[in-house]
Amino acid sequence: MEDLVKQMLVALGEDPDREGLARTPNRVSEAWKFLTRGYQQKPEDVVGDAIFHEDCNHMVIVRDIEVYSMCEHHMLPFFGRCHIGYIPRGSVFGVSKLARLVDCFARRLQLQERLTQQIARFVMDHINAEGVGVVMEARHLCMMMRGVEKQNSRMVTSAMLGSFHNSVATRNEFLQLIQMKSD
């Protein structure tokens, strides 16, 4: 990867050996390994054994999970927040595991639409939830720094599965709860 970064610097008209850029290929390589570490992770391993049997069938929500990812079209960052809600059928996730799950999928080249769906599908399938809702709101630097250059644009995506899809009341409860103001 370092050689590719050097080639890119030359193609941009830069001298990769000048003082300010001499270590840049290494720094960029390390940064990209970090930003795409999700490729080395399996979501099942991230969650591990943090699924607990609990006689609970009421909505569980984790709001405002920070999301940082890289757009697969321009390889520029997008960032925002993710809200996950689910209705368990006897099993719940350890609360920190949902945030780790978001990171696992987000730390890959992504589309926000796919990322939202991947999170919802994993939650639904791995605890046999009655329903799952995921809403993500993000700002995309590919829209802010280039192209249309719209600084205040945000993309909102949602995935509603099971009872969150089939029941207007369940979906509305979730949507109302994620809009509550934080202290």
pLDDT of residue 150: 87
**CATH of the domain spanning 42-178:** 3.30.1130.10
Residue 151 to residue 144: CA distance in whole angstroms: 5
pLDDT along the chain (183 residues), means of 10: 97 97 97 97 96 94 97 97 97 96 98 98 97 98 90 94 98 94 59
User: What number of residues does the chain have?
Assistant: 183
Q: Which helix (H) or strand (E) holds 134?
A: strand 131-140
pLDDT of residue 117: 98
**Domains of the chain: which residue ranges?**
2-35, 42-178
